[in-house]
Amino acid sequence: MDITNLETKMAEIESAVKKAPELFNAELKKMLETKADAQKVRDMQSQLDGIDHDRAHHHGSGGGEDLLAKAFSDSPEFARVLELGRGKAVIKIPDLAALETKTTITSAALGTGTPGVLNPEQVGGIVPLAQRRLFLRDLLFRGTRISTGSAFFLQEQTFTNAASIQQAEGNLKSESADTFVATTRPTVTLAHWLPISRQAMEDGPQLLQFVRNKLLFGLRFREEVQCLYGGGGASDLSGLVTTATAFNTSLLGTGLWNRADILRRAMQQVEEADEAAVGFFVLNPRDWAGIELIKDSNGNYIVGSPQNSATPRLWGRPVVVTTAMAAGTFLAGSSESAELIDRMDATVEISLDHDDYRARNLAMILCESRVVLCTYRPGAFIWGQLTSSPA
C-alpha cells in the first residue's frame, strides 16, 4: 500500500472510529502489518490521540480517562511497533465492561406489547360473562314446524258424557255431546344485532365466532323468559306462568308443612283435575337449596345429601334449577301439555349494507328467529308461592 492510499485510508478510519472503536482497531492492525513509512505511522498516532481526546470529551465518565486511549499509550509493545514501523502489538484493556456504560435490557425496557419484540400469546380463548343455563327448549321442543305466520289447535271445550246401559232392545241409545274451540297463536320474531368492523372480522376469526355464539345465546335467553312470563299478546309468547293455574293453598291444610309439601300438593292438584301428570318442577337455586337442606329431628338430611351428585329430583320428578324462576315461586308442569314450535330457525347473518356501514368498513351481525308457544293444557301447569311455614 503506497502513502497516498494510506492517507485516504486514514481519513476513512478516522470517520469510522468516531462511530466504533473496534473498527479502528481492525484497520490499524492491517496498517501496522504493511511496510508503511514510520513517520506516517507516527502521524496517524497523533491523529488517534486527537480522536481519543474527542471521544473522551464526548463519552467521558465523570473524571475517568478513556480506557481505550490509555491502553494504547501504556502499551510498550504498541510503542515499539510505532518506532520500528512493523511487527504487531497485543493491547490489553483491563475492564472492557467499563468502556461505555449501557442500560440493562429487560422485558420492561423493551415493552411487553412491543410489536415484533415481546408479543403476548393468547391462551384459553375468550372468557365469557357468567350466563344462565337454559332448559325450556329442551323440555318443550318436539321438532314440529309451521310454514305460516301463526299456528292454531283445537281444544275440547265441553263434553257431555251420556254413556249408559241400554235398558231394553230397541230403545234409543244415549247421545253425548262434545264442543271444540280453535285457539290461534301468532308467531313472534326474536332478534338483535350488533356492529363490528370489517377488520375485526377478518383479523379475529375467534372473536367473530364468539360474537355469533353470544348473539345466539341472547336470543335463546329472551325466548326462555318469554316462554315463562310472556303476556300472550300479539307480540308476546303465551308464557307458562302467565297461563298456568294458580296453586290451591287450601290443599296445605292447617298443619305444619314445608316447600317439599307444597310441590307434592301441586301434583295432587293436577291429579285431581284429571290433567296430564306433572312431569317436572322449576325452582330458583335458593329454594332448591332450602329443600335439599331439610333435616329430620336427628339432623339427617331428608331430600339432599352432601355425597349425592345425581340429577335433582323430587317426588320422582326432575327438578330444573334456574335463576329464570323468581325466588320464592315455583312452576310444576308437563312437557306433553305445551310445545315450542319454530317458524324460522335461529340464524346469524352478516351484512355490509346497513345504513352507511359499507362506507365506514363496518358490518352488522344479525341474529333472528321466529317461534310460537302453544300451551295445549293450561290446567296441567301450576304456579304458586313457596310461602314460609313453621315446619
Tens digits of residue pLDDT in 234-252: 789 999 999 999 999 999 9
Domain span at 288? 136-160+175-385
141 and 58 belong to one structural domain:
no
89 and 143 belong to one structural domain:
no
29 and 145 belong to one structural domain:
no
31 and 155 belong to one structural domain:
no
215 and 287 belong to one structural domain:
yes
More reliable by pLDDT, 236 or 54: 236
Does the pLDDT value for residue 310 go beyond 80? Answer: no
- On whether residue 127 sits in a domain, the answer given is no
- Close Cβ partners of 335 (under 8 Å, ≥ 6 residues apart): 139, 140, 279, 280
Q: What one-character DSSP code corresponds to residue 254?
A: S
- On whether residue 288 sits in a domain, the answer given is yes
Interatomic CA distance for residues 70 and 63, integer angstroms: 14
Mean pLDDT across the chain: 81
238 and 325 belong to one structural domain:
yes
The pTM assigned to this predicted structure is 0.67
- On whether residue 75 sits in a domain, the answer given is yes
Q: Give the Cα-Cα-Cα angle 105, 109, 114 (nearest 5 degrees).
A: 115
- Close Cβ partners of 113 (under 8 Å, ≥ 6 residues apart): 119, 120
286 and 145 belong to one structural domain:
yes
Burial 179-215, CB ≥16 within 10 A → b, else e = eeeeeebbbbebeebeebeeeebeeeeeebeebeebb
264 and 345 belong to one structural domain:
yes
C-alpha grid cell, residue 369: 328467529
- On whether residue 103 sits in a domain, the answer given is no
Does the pLDDT value for residue 319 go beyond 90? Answer: yes
187 and 305 belong to one structural domain:
yes
179 and 304 belong to one structural domain:
yes
**Last residue in a domain, options 98, 124, 146:** 98
For the stretch 271-309, pLDDT in tens is 999 999 999 999 999 999 999 998 888 999 888 788 877
147 and 211 belong to one structural domain:
yes
Torsion of CA 299, 304, 307, 312, to 10 degrees: 180
More reliable by pLDDT, 2 or 230: 230
**Which of 226, 213, 217 minimizes the C-alpha distance to 140?**
226
- On whether residue 277 sits in a domain, the answer given is yes
Does the pLDDT value for residue 38 go beyond 60? Answer: no
**Which of 192, 198, 201, 205 minimizes the C-alpha distance to 358?**
198
Does the pLDDT value for residue 200 go beyond 70? Answer: yes
- On whether residue 25 sits in a domain, the answer given is yes
Q: Which CATH number fits the domain that encloses residue 141?
A: 3.30.2400.10
245 and 155 belong to one structural domain:
yes
- On whether residue 326 sits in a domain, the answer given is yes
**Which of 388, 359, 322 minimizes the C-alpha distance to 134?**
322
Q: What is the maximum span of the chain, computed from C-alpha positions, in angstroms?
A: 155
Average pLDDT over residues 26-54: 57
Does the pLDDT value for residue 98 go beyond 60? Answer: no
Interatomic CA distance for residues 310 and 240, integer angstroms: 27
Domain tally for the chain? 2
More reliable by pLDDT, 133 or 87: 133
For residue 61, name the pLDDT band (cuts at 50, 70, 90): very low
- On whether residue 352 sits in a domain, the answer given is yes
